[in-house]
Amino acid sequence: MTTTGGPGDTPSVALRTEALEQLLTERGLIDPKVMNEIITQYETNVGPLNGAKVVAKAWTDPGYRRRLLQDGTAAIRELGFSGQQGEHIVVVENTPTTHNVVVCTLCSCYPWPVLGLSPSWYKDPVYRARVVREPRTVLSAMGLEPDDDVRITVRDSTSEVRWLVLPERPAGTEHLSEEELVALVTRDAMVGVAKVTAP
Amino acid sequence: MLTERSVLAPGAIEARARNLRGEHVAEPPITEPARPHYAPTSERSLRPVDAAAAFGVGERVRAKSMSVPGHTRTRLPGYIRGHTGVVDIVQPAHVLPDTNAHFLGENPQHVYTVRFDSRGVWGPDAEPFALTVEMYESYLETTA
């Protein structure tokens, strides 16, 4: 017995998506092999490790940090990262007094070349609706409590501009190499819903 | 949009989805797509525009609240309509999705990162913070 209802029920979103893919494939409008390649590419080859490399380089190379904050797209391309959803990336820095957090209230715009595909919470209507309204409450629920004097800026990605947060380098990491720093940088810190912590 | 353009007949997805779960329903016949006379001028979204940016960094601007007949502002969030902010960054021009997505032209225009104060948007009891939203030039008006 399945739990899907009788003929009167509307088929599930998953089934409707499969139906749409089949119909468009039969009409020669999409190629499932290409779709699978895109998914594999962004699930396995491109991910937050790219962004972590960008952040660790900015932490250890002041010249790179300057270029990154001035022209994010170009500085990120220096490390070989570019492509879809990364045509124009703006990098903003979190400091002891300023905290940036990124959202797309309209859908789920996200800088793929440096962070890969977005996590499900980023696409959640609750996160999208609430973080532009009460960011401190949302960050607190996600385990981050910025001090009262920290100025919070919420970045709503409503156009082709993509935002990447350069997190604050944690104290006590002065002796670590760039490579060791890469391992500390998390996806959530680069969206601005977490801080990077020392090992 | 796929049914509007006759790429798929109305009900085609529903019928196929039902068949996928084991029902036997008739699917509508394959339609002849109405192809728009339309080709993008570049595969990406950024476009150079000749016109100078209408607004400058530091200028006060208001997000339009009235919708223009025949146009929907697909990338202007509802919560920001009618509110006043300050231009923070003039971004490179992009194609306007409102028309581009409907085969009505690329309509490239300047895009602005506009900074709003949370209490202006959500009222005096809101948490104090800043909010930036990217706005296509046609979404904005001066506050004179």
pLDDT in tens, A5-31: 455 688 888 999 899 888 888 888 888
A6 is a domain residue: no
Q: Is A109 known to be catalytic?
A: yes
Same domain, A170 and A182: yes
| Whether residues A72 and A31 fall in one domain | no
Q: Does B101 touch chain A (CB under 8 A)?
A: no
Together in a domain, A39 and A105? no
Let me know whether A157 and A59 are in one domain.
yes
* 3-class DSSP state of A180: helix
State the helix-helix crossing angle for A62-70 and A48-60, rounded to 10 degrees: 120
- Set of chain B residues whose Cβ sits within 8 Å of the Cβ of A153: 115, 129-132
- What token pair was written down for B11? 């009900």
Reduced to 3 states (helix: H, G, I; strand: E, B; else coil), residue B89 is strand
Q: Are residues A102 and A149 in the same domain?
A: yes
Contact at CB, B21 and A137, closer than 8 angstroms: no
- Within-domain flag for A131: yes
A28 to chain B: closest CA residue: B7
More confident of the two residues B117 and B67: B117
- pLDDT above 70: percentage of residues in chain A: 96
A5 within domain boundaries: no
Q: Which range is most confident: A161-170, B28-37, B44-53, B105-114?
A: A161-170
Cα separation, A77 vs A66, in Å, equals 15
> Does residue A107 have an active-site annotation?
yes
Under 8 Å CB pairs connecting chains A and B tally to 104
- For the domain that residue A59 is a member of, what is the CATH number? 3.90.330.10
A134 touches chain B (CB under 8 A): yes
Closest-CA residue of A relative to B15 is A19
Weakly modelled stretches of chain A, pLDDT under 50: 1-5
User: Do A184 and A118 reside in the same domain of the chain?
Assistant: yes
Q: Are residues A39 and A128 in the same domain?
A: no
Strand, helix or coil for residue B132 = strand
Distance between CA atoms of B25 and A99, rounded to whole angstroms? Answer: 55
Same domain for A64 and A141, yes or no, is yes
**What CATH number was assigned to the domain covering residues B60-142?**
2.30.30.50
Average pLDDT over residues B43-72: 82
Angstrom distance (rounded) from CA A62 to CA A189: 20
Please give the pLDDT value at position A64: 98
> From the CA of B144, how many Å to the nearest CA of chain A?
25
- pLDDT for residue B136 is more than 90: yes
B105 confidence band (pLDDT: 50, 70, 90)? confident
Same domain, A61 and A31: no
Is A132 an interface residue toward B (CB < 8 Å)? yes
What is the total count of domains within chain A?
A: 2
Smallest CA–CA distance from A5 into chain B, residue: B21
Catalytic residue among A107, A120, A140, A157: A107
Residue A169 within a domain: yes
User: Does residue A61 fall inside a structural domain?
Assistant: yes
Ordered by start, the domain boundaries in chain B are 1-35, 60-142
Q: Do residues A61 and A151 share a domain?
A: yes
Is residue B120 within 8 A of residue B101, CB to CB? The reply is no
Whether residue B69 has pLDDT greater than 70: no
Choose the catalytic residue: A12, A82, A109, A159: A109
- Is A86 found in the same domain as A148? yes
User: Residue for token digits 């009618």?
Assistant: B82
Q: Which domain holds residue A145?
A: 47-191
Do A112 and A167 belong together in one domain? yes
Q: In this structure, are residues A115 and A167 in contact, taking their beta carbons and an 8 Å threshold?
A: no
